[in-house]
Amino acid sequence: MKAKRPAPGWLWFGAPAAIALVLPLLVSSAFAIDIFIRVLLFAFIGVAWNLIGGYAKQLSLGHAAYFGLGAYTSTILLIRFGVSPWIGMLAGGVVAVLASLPIGALCFRLRGPYFAIATIATAQVLMLLFLKFRDFAWGAEGTTIPNLGNSPLMMQFDAKVAYYYIALALLAIGLVITYQIERSWMGYYLVAVGEDEDAAEAIGVDTLRIKRQIYMISAFLTALAGTFYVQYIYFIDPNTAFSFNVSVEAALVSIVGGIGTLWGPVVGTVLLEATSALLQSWLGSGHGGAQLTVYALILIAVILWRPSGLLGVLTNAYAHIVQARPAKREALIDG
């Protein structure tokens, strides 16, 4: 299953991959690298969200639940048991998968806005729980992780660039997984569920099962991002870990960039983070609310004008300009 592409397949993977690999070597500013890392991380979270939210159209606004579970699992294992965050990362993923089962069982019985509200509620409940429980999870103050200097085995590095490549690797994993699913029977089933659940059931798609399966994968990946984030900023607390903003951004980047497409989340993240960086340099950081105001305006504009996201606009523009072909509408799945 390929989206109709005007250029050969390898170019679409090769070019961005090459750029991404050499980018940190060309740029030395720590500030810039930090931005790149955030872009990679949020693109990765967006890719994870896109599996369930973009393809299967189950609009989760509670993915922060898994982000936080991943972050806390690895941190608890690290601080209380001295376990390396590399292992903690995987453990976090497992915890997230286990959590996704009851959460999914509860939420997938609901459709449309009910589902969204339920997911918001589950993330909030987790936040509230972690705020209360000081004993094993440090409560509202959170905790820093011990600074072990440069210890690659404990996922701590002096060189910022190392974090860049880890984030890049995570994004690459997410994209590869998405790509493989997209072009398999599972991808078709997901889109079918996203388009029309009843019709999908009529042709033998076990919609509950497939939603559950993709949700598990999505939760696992999101949890990995959570661990990375803690390791990167050396701090965790419930408000950050289960932040509604994380849930929102996870969905936002895909919706703006292109829901249900491979590169949509990446495009969306680049756009939103670039806007954010521009705003910061124009307005300075004193203007609380300016950034989100712009995000909100972009989102409204996209919804009113191109609800399927901007990736379609970009590929159409490319087709139109470069190949003088008439523009096509949103992502098309062909046999």
Partner 1 sequence: MAEALIVRNLSRRFGGLRAVQDLSFSVNEGETVALIGPNGAGKTTSFNLITGYHRPNAGSIAAFGRELVGLRPHAICAHGLARTFQVARPFGKMTVLANVMTGAFLHDRTMDGAREKAHEAIDFVGLSAKEHLPARDLTTIDQRRLEMARALATQPRLLLLDEVMAGLNPAEIDQAVALIERLSQRGLTIVIVEHVMRAIMAVARIIVVLDHGQKIAEGKPEEVMANAEVIRAYLGTGFVHGAVSGAAQC
Partner 2 sequence: MIDTLAQAVVNGLLIGGIYALVSIGVTLIFGVVKIVNFAQGEFVMIGMYISFFLAARFGIDPLLSLFVSMPALFVVGVLVQHFLIRRVLALGDMPQIFLTFALSLLLVNVALLLFTADYRTVETPYSEVAIHLGAIYVPLAKLIAFGVAMALSGTLWVFLHSTDLGKAMRAAAQNRDVAMLMGINPDRVFAVAVGVALALAGAAGSLLMPFYPAYPMVGQVFVLMAFVAVVLGTLGNVTGALIASLMMGIAESLGIQFVGSDSGLIVVFLMLLLTLALRPSGLFGGWLR
Of the candidates 62, 8, 90, the one whose C-alpha atom is nearest the C-alpha of residue 247 is 62
Q: Which is nearer to partner 1, 70 or 187 (CB)?
A: 187
Which among partner 1, partner 2, none contacts residue 320 (Cβ within 5 to 8 A by kind)?
A: none
From 23, 125, 208, 314, residue interacting with partner 2 (rule: CB under 8 A): 125
CB of 115 to partner 2, least distance (A): 9
What mask of x and - would describe binding to partner 1 in positions 231 to 270, judged by CB under 8 A?
-----------------------------x----------
Which among partner 2, partner 1, none contacts residue 1 (Cβ within 5 to 8 A by kind)?
A: partner 1
Which are the contacts of 146, defined by CB distance < 8 A and separation ≥ 6? 78, 79
Question: Binding of partner 1 at residue 180 (CB under 8 A)?
Answer: no
**Cα distance between residue 143 and residue 141, in whole Å:** 6
Fill in the amino acid letter for 147. Answer: N
Which are the contacts of 323, defined by CB distance < 8 A and separation ≥ 6? 6
What mask of x and - would describe binding to partner 2 in positions 80 to 109, judged by CB under 8 A?
--------------------------xx-x
Burial of 213 (0-12, 13-18, 19+ CB in 10 A): buried
Residue written as token pair 């705020």: 131
> Among residue numbers 316 through 335, which ones bind partner 1 (CB under 8 A)?
329-335
CB of 229 to partner 1, least distance (A): 33
Query: Residue 55 gets which letter from DSSP?
Result: I
Distances 250 to 127, 292, 301, 327 between C-alpha atoms, Å? 17, 15, 18, 28
Neighbouring C-alpha atoms within 13 Å toward the C-beta of 293: 7
Segment contacting partner 2 by CB under 8 A, of 70-78, 112-120, 175-183, 319-327: 112-120
Question: Binding of partner 2 at residue 128 (CB under 8 A)?
Answer: yes
CB of 50 to partner 2, least distance (A): 12
The tokens describing 23, both together, are 């980018």
> Among residue numbers 10 through 49, which ones bind partner 1 (CB under 8 A)?
none
What mask of x and - would describe binding to partner 2 in positions 273 to 302, judged by CB under 8 A?
--------------xxxxxxx-xxx-xx--
**Cα distance between residue 272 and residue 253, in whole Å:** 7
Which are the contacts of 147, defined by CB distance < 8 A and separation ≥ 6? 156, 234
Fill in the amino acid letter for 135. Answer: D
287 three-state secondary structure: coil
Which are the contacts of 225, defined by CB distance < 8 A and separation ≥ 6? 41, 44, 45, 48, 67, 70, 170
Q: What is the DSSP code string of 290-306?
A: HHHHHHHHHHHHHHHH-
- For residues 56 and 211, the answer to whether their CB atoms sit within 8 Å is yes
- For residues 241 and 143, the answer to whether their CB atoms sit within 8 Å is no
From 17, 23, 32, 59, residue interacting with partner 2 (rule: CB under 8 A): 59
From 29, 149, 198, 324, residue interacting with partner 1 (rule: CB under 8 A): 198
Which among partner 1, partner 2, none contacts residue 192 (Cβ within 5 to 8 A by kind)?
A: partner 1
CB of 182 to partner 1, least distance (A): 12
CB of 95 to partner 2, least distance (A): 19
Q: Which is nearer to partner 1, 64 or 205 (CB)?
A: 205
Q: How far from chain centre, in Å, is Cα 247?
A: 9
Question: Binding of partner 1 at residue 205 (CB under 8 A)?
Answer: yes
Binding-site ranges for partner 1 (CB under 8 A): 1, 183-185, 188-189, 191-192, 194-196, 198-208, 260, 329-335
Binding-site ranges for partner 2 (CB under 8 A): 57, 59, 61, 106-107, 109-110, 112-114, 116-118, 121-122, 124-125, 128-129, 131-132, 248, 251, 255, 259, 287-293, 295-297, 299-300, 303-304, 307
